[in-house]
Structure 1
Amino acid sequence: MTLPEGYYSKNDNKVCKLVKSLYGLKQAPRKWNEKLTNVLRDVGFVQSQCDHSLYVMDKSSVFIALLVYVDDIVITGNNDNEISRIKGLLSKSFQIKDLGVLKYFLGLEVIYDKSGICLNQRKYCLDLLAEFGYLGCKPVNTPIELSHVINKNIGDKQETLVDITSYQKLIGKLIYLSLTRPDICYAVQFLSQYMHKPCDSHLKVALRLLRYLKLSPGKGLLFKKSDCFDLTCFADSDWAKCLNTRKSVTGYYVFLGHDLISWKSKKQSTVSRSSGEAEYRAMCSATCELIWIVNLLSELKVCCKVPIQLYCDSSAAISIAANLVFHERTKHFELDLYFLREKIASGFVQTVKVDSESQLANLFTKGLSARLHELFCEKLGLVNVFKAV
């Protein structure tokens, strides 16, 4: 902060000590989080090491989980009386407002059903369509055309957009919308690569994505009630997908029981010399995610069965993981090689061959036909609870 004139001499080297944080200062978020953490620890919560926004209380038969985003808090547990007691303790330190059963949180709508709960962003999606004037557009069946490759120089006469702010705003909102819409992740991750220098062709793909969202703005993830807590993972890659850098695209998703809990579509950081290497790197990325998920679930007192099934449609990648002799073909990605082999040898993961037609991770690495796209969305648990029966 800048001190007012006359408060100190220009030749004075003294600095001010922050005693109490003021709203608007750079230190305010850090001070707020520090105070909230101290209060929760005094109540009896333990901060998660995997996700610092998660706090867990586990005492005898009482289990309470508390999730924090700045000053918005979601609390759940197996004891209503204990939850009410914690709310009362928090009200002594902060001015809180109890909104009751969770229905809307940070743009996410929570809909309760007999079979489970559905997370969707229907209102957020409709507001996005209205903002860009696409509420009355003609919808399309896929977010991106079949086998479409996005390049920064698709045509020789392509010109950079004059107003890139609107494009950046649109892609930023689509990134947040992908929290409950994994079906648009592949298109969004490609479009986000050209945030600083987009062309007309990129804007056309982004607007096509809006037309796809118009088809079912209420689609979201359904989490069904189940006693199964087994983790399964599908990993895939599209070799040399980027025409500018020839880097491959990694795509994977993780199921907890029958529910989708994690997914990613991302361009790899290095160039792969073969499709088998690209698939192997995708399996390593998926394994890292599995390690984090297992650690997080252990803090939530959920035990996962090992080895975890890791499905891949590349026989070459599976052979590399199992065979220790392929030195000439694998020495240039030695770190990934030893990492995955170590996890396989320890019994943490088990690689399983799957047919390319049954590889659901294709949804995160390439454009699909309308039939396959809809089929894969159903298998991933994407439903539209607002659709009239």
Structure 2
Amino acid sequence: MDIPPGYTATSEAKIACRLQRALYGLKQSPRAWFGRLSSVMRKYGFQQSNSDHTLFPKHRLGKITALIVYVDDMIITGDDVEEISRLQDQLSTEFEMKNLGGLKYFLGIEVARSRQGIFLSQRKYILDLLAEVGLLECKPVDIPIVQNHKLGEYVDQVPADKQRYQQLVGKLIYLSHSRPDIAYAVSVVSQFMHRPSEDHMDVVMRILHFLKSSPGKGLMFSKNGHLKVAGYTDADWAGNITYRKSTAGYFTFVGGNLVTWRSKKQKVVVLSSAEAEFRGMVKGICELIWLKKLLAEIDVAPSSEMNLLCDNTTTIAISHNPVQHDRTKHVEVDRNFIKQNLEEKIIQLPFVKSEDQLADVLTKAVFVRNFYNSLDKLGIKDIYAPT
């Protein structure tokens, strides 16, 4: 760092600059900025959510106002019009702000409203990505990953451009946060960031070709007359061909609308499909409990038990039965966690047929027909598609 203008010193002097505030670009600056914003929000009567620290709700006269922030971008919403207007004026006195009006575009996500509901998509982001890699005119494919894919780590494979692979997968990971239809395929290719081969790059290109088929796909949020919280959970036992680890996934719904999902390879090798299902089920229960706490903070907590649908009858039976089972010795903590939430009537574990198990698309590559049937039930639509 150079000595500030107007300050002189001899060359022999050992001088250090002492910072009075966090400078932009330093690792302390995000924490300092968020600490300043948090103190301002508390000053105006907002509480910081314990479930999501970037959410600040305020209750007044039976109405609610909420602010959620990502770095220096924020959304203000709620049913208290007076409080929303007051908060905008108050924040303008504290920070340099610009009111962009009704929400239309946020962090690469496009927002469209209609009588049917609110539609979220990343059409522009996808088209920009395809243009960047020269695939705007490519031939689209119907599924992001084929059913007989055999991706593993082999020494004799032809290596790919590691830097380009990491850049593309990083952008696909971001896309998968709003596109559940590519979540499983992205979870597969993201496992080979340290040593990608041309086979892995081929799958990345296939995902991009799939995005070309329907860049306008997104999630539709509609009023369904209820605020029930439910989820689907599934696991594909020993699906990883290199280390024989399982892949688990879950979908969660609030009011019949898809809100969160996850597809992830499990960290340990399990000895049976029941163990894989138990570990996946625990992740789904934790997500449901988190959603319940988050909704309670905005006064819309579910009043009834939350359903977590599973297609494994053995796992459901063992969850209700306290008897020791040999096949669950390695997951006793998970099994008791599930049993506790069942006894406290926080969750239920209804059985769902395999053909109706929506979480299948998060754990394995499925047939085209099953893939699109699941997308329809998940509420994934394309409002830009020709009719």
The 8 Å contact of residues 138 and 209 in structure 2, kept in 1 or not, is answered as yes
1:332 aligns with 2:333: no
Give deviations 1:177-224, integer Å, cap 9, x for gaps: 112210000000010010110001000011011111010000000001
Task: Give the whole-Å Cα distance in 2 for the aligned partners of 1:252 and 1:97.
Answer: 38
Secondary structure of the equivalent of 1:25? coil
1:62 aligns with 2:60: no
Deviation at 1:149? 3.2
Task: Give the whole-Å Cα distance in 2 for the aligned partners of 1:230 and 1:8.
Answer: 72
Letter in 1 for 2:189: L
> 1:182 — aligned with what?
180
> 1:122 — aligned with what?
123
Secondary structure of the equivalent of 2:32? helix
- Going from structure 1 to structure 2, the CA distance change for 1:152 and 1:91 (only over 3 Å counts) comes to same
Which consecutive aligned stretches of 4+ in structure 1 deviate over 3 angstroms post-superposition?
Answer: 1-10, 15-18
1:284 aligns with 2:282: yes
Give deviations 1:224-257, integer Å, cap 9, x for gaps: 1233100111100000011121110001101112
Task: Give the whole-Å Cα distance in 1 for the aligned partners of 2:149 and 2:158.
Answer: 20
The 8 Å contact of residues 231 and 305 in structure 1, kept in 2 or not, is answered as no
Overall identity of the aligned pairs, in %? 45
Deviation at 1:7? 9.2
Deviation at 1:63? 0.8
Task: Give the whole-Å Cα distance in 2 for the aligned partners of 1:6 and 1:47.
Answer: 50
The 8 Å contact of residues 53 and 69 in structure 1, kept in 2 or not, is answered as yes
Give deviations 1:50-79, integer Å, cap 9, x for gaps: 111110111222310101011111000112
Give deviations 1:124-182, integer Å, cap 9, x for gaps: 000111111111011111011024232122xx741222x21111110010011112210
Secondary structure of the equivalent of 2:350? strand
> 2:39 — aligned with what?
38
> 1:158 — aligned with what?
157
Secondary structure of the equivalent of 2:349? strand
Give deviations 1:271-310, integer Å, cap 9, x for gaps: 1100111111111110011111111111111121332111
The 8 Å contact of residues 149 and 241 in structure 1, kept in 2 or not, is answered as no
> 2:304 — aligned with what?
306
- Going from structure 1 to structure 2, the CA distance change for 1:53 and 1:2 (only over 3 Å counts) comes to farther
Q: Give runs of aligned pairs for residues 99-110 of structure 1, distance below 5 A.
A: 99-110=100-111
Deviation at 1:9? 5.7
> 1:50 — aligned with what?
51
The 8 Å contact of residues 249 and 266 in structure 1, kept in 2 or not, is answered as yes
Q: Give runs of aligned pairs for residues 7-26 of structure 1, distance below 5 A.
A: 18-26=19-27
Deviation at 1:26? 2.4
Q: Give runs of aligned pairs for residues 267-282 of structure 1, distance below 5 A.
A: 267-282=265-280
Letter in 1 for 2:101: G
> 1:245 — aligned with what?
243
Task: Give the whole-Å Cα distance in 2 for the aligned partners of 1:210 and 1:309.
Answer: 35
The 8 Å contact of residues 230 and 288 in structure 2, kept in 1 or not, is answered as no
Task: Give the whole-Å Cα distance in 2 for the aligned partners of 1:302 and 1:323.
Answer: 32
The 8 Å contact of residues 125 and 213 in structure 1, kept in 2 or not, is answered as yes
> 1:80 — aligned with what?
81
- Going from structure 1 to structure 2, the CA distance change for 1:63 and 1:209 (only over 3 Å counts) comes to same
- Going from structure 1 to structure 2, the CA distance change for 1:7 and 1:275 (only over 3 Å counts) comes to farther
Letter in 2 for 1:36: L
Task: Give the whole-Å Cα distance in 2 for the aligned partners of 1:349 and 1:2.
Answer: 61
**Structure 1: unaligned runs, 5 residues or longer:** none
2:214 to 190, 205, 216: 216
Task: Give the whole-Å Cα distance in 1 for the aligned partners of 2:104 and 2:10.
Answer: 53
Secondary structure of the equivalent of 1:148? coil
Give deviations 1:303-333, integer Å, cap 9, x for gaps: 2133211111111111110111133222221
The 8 Å contact of residues 274 and 328 in structure 2, kept in 1 or not, is answered as no
Task: Give the whole-Å Cα distance in 2 for the aligned partners of 1:196 and 1:53.
Answer: 32
The 8 Å contact of residues 143 and 187 in structure 1, kept in 2 or not, is answered as yes
Task: Give the whole-Å Cα distance in 1 for the aligned partners of 2:168 and 2:377.
Answer: 28
The 8 Å contact of residues 278 and 331 in structure 2, kept in 1 or not, is answered as no
Task: Compare 17-26 and 240-249 and name the one that shifted more.
Answer: 17-26
RMSD: 1.8
Task: Give the whole-Å Cα distance in 2 for the aligned partners of 1:71 and 1:165.
Answer: 29
Secondary structure of the equivalent of 2:153? coil
> 2:376 — aligned with what?
378
Give deviations 1:5-58, integer Å, cap 9, x for gaps: 869965x9xx86542222222221111111111111111111011111110111
Task: Tell me how many residue pairs correspond in the alignment.
Answer: 383
- Going from structure 1 to structure 2, the CA distance change for 1:7 and 1:68 (only over 3 Å counts) comes to farther
Letter in 2 for 1:181: R
